[in-house]
Amino acid sequence: MIFFQRLNMMAACAAIIVSFFTASAIAQNSARGSIVVNGAKTEFVYAYAHTAKSLHDKKPETKLILSDKALSPKAVTDTFELMKVKRTDGVKTLEFTFDERKELTSVQFSVDPMNGGGSSSAYKAKLDALDAKVMKGRVYTEGEQTMFKDRYSFDVRFDLAMTVPRAADVSGKAAWNTPQGKVIAEYLRVARAGDKAGLKRVILAERAKDLDGPQGAEIISFLKMSADPKTAEFGDLTVDGDTAMANIIERTKNGSSSSRYKLKLVGGAWKMDP
C-alpha cells in the first residue's frame, strides 16, 4: 500500500514538473514562421503583445509584435523605444493591431524593403486565445500579395504571455505640476515663440549647439509647431532615476496626435532631451 502511495506521489510530482515546464515554454513568447519578400525569407522566433487604450477613441486595442530578435518590455510597450532598436539593432518586425472585438485592423511591416502599414482582406488572423494574460494563434496571408513592386507573403504561429506596461507615475493635470511637467510646459512655450535663448535654457547643452548650426533656423521653425501647453493634455509621465518620459496629446476637430518627450536630470535640474 505504501509502495503505491509513493508511486502516486511521484506521478503527481512529475505532473507538476511537466506543468511547470509547459508554462515556462509559453512564457518564452515564441513564434514560428516567416515572411517572404521578393523571394527573401525572414524567420520570426519571438512574439510579444500588450493591450492599451487607443489614442483615437480610448477603446482598448492589442498590439502583437513578431520579431527576429528579442525585445525588452520597454520596446514592446513604447513605440519610440521600438523604433530605436529597429534602427540601432536592425530588428525586423511584423506588427498587428486588434480592436476591442479582437478583430485585426492593421498590419505594420518593418522588413526591408517593406516599411509601412495598411490593411487588407488578404491578411488573416486566427486567435486561439486572447485575454489579459495570454495570446495564441496564427497570422497569415491568403497567398502571395503585392505592395507597389514588392511581392510578399507571411505565415506565423505564436504563443505568448502578455506584456504589462509599467503604470505611469502621474498623468493628467497633476503631471503639469511636477518638476518635469513644468520644464515641458516651458519648453513648449519658448518653442512656439521661436525663442532660441529660451530653448537653450531648457534643453541639454549638447542639443543646444544644434540651434547655432547650419540647420538652426529650420529647427526653430519646426519647433514653432509644437503643442500649446495651455490646451494640450498631459497623457502620462514615467520617471526612471535621472531620466523621464512624457506623453503630450493634442486634440483637434481633425483628430488627435501624441508626442513623446524625454528629459534628463543634469546637475540637479531637469532638461529636455529632444
- Report which secondary-structure segment, H or E, holds 88: helix 79-89
pLDDT per residue over 77-98, tens digit each? 988 889 999 999 999 999 999 9
Given this model, what pLDDT does residue 249 score?
92
**Is residue 113 within 8 Å of residue 150, measured between CB atoms?**
yes
For residue range 154-188, list pLDDT tens digits in order.
999 999 999 998 888 999 999 999 999 999 999 99
Question: What is the mean predicted confidence (pLDDT) over 208-226?
Answer: 94
Q: What is the DSSP string of 195-220?
A: -HHHHHHHB-HHHHGGGGSTTHHHHH
pLDDT of residue 28: 65
* pTM score of the predicted model: 0.67
Considering only the C-alpha atoms of the chain, give the largest distance between any 2 of them, rounded to a whole number of Å: 89
Cα angle at 266 between 264 and 270, to 5 degrees? Answer: 55
The per-residue pLDDT for 182 is 97
**How far is residue 148's CA from residue 132's CA, in Å, rounded to a whole number?**
37
How do the domains of the chain map onto residue ranges?
Answer: 29-161, 173-272
Q: What is the second-level CATH architecture of the domain 173-272?
A: Roll (3.10)
